[in-house]
Amino acid sequence: MRDELRETEKTLRELQATKIKLLSEIKEEDERSKECCDWGTHLCEIPMPINGQVCGVDRCIVDLVAALNAGGLVTLDSCCGHGKTSGVIFLQDGRKLTIGTFERSQSRATQNPHSTGVRQ
């Protein structure tokens, strides 16, 4: 009986160690999934159905592109900028949305007296 108990405890410890390792791997993969790939590689694109076609959308802006399309603003093309430039989303109605960082927006808001952005 004691041998069975020891074996069960050993198995539980091994399972706990495996669980911790798997959770760590999931966390690392989740962090990597938020990063964008290098310019021109298309490795970070997520396939998304848009207007009857499957388009590749950079993973770091996929939620924004999905929200625009769900709201009736059909997107034609997009790029996050890959950390080298501002991102851009082209809409079917001819508009172009530029995606910048909060810091960049904050800087512009303080320079533009007509801006409704955040002021310091």
Check: CB of residue 115 under 8 Å from CB of residue 109.
yes
Does the predicted model carry a pTM greater than 0.95? no
Per-residue tens of pLDDT for the chain, all 120 residues? 788 888 889 888 888 888 787 777 766 665 655 567 777 777 788 899 988 889 999 988 999 999 999 999 999 999 998 888 899 999 999 999 999 876 655 555 555 555 554 444
Q: Domain limits of the chain?
A: 1-34, 45-111
Please classify residue 10 by burial: count the beta carbons closer than 10 Å to its beta carbon, then call 0-12 exposed, 13-18 middle and 19+ buried: exposed
CB atoms within 10 A of CB 97: 15
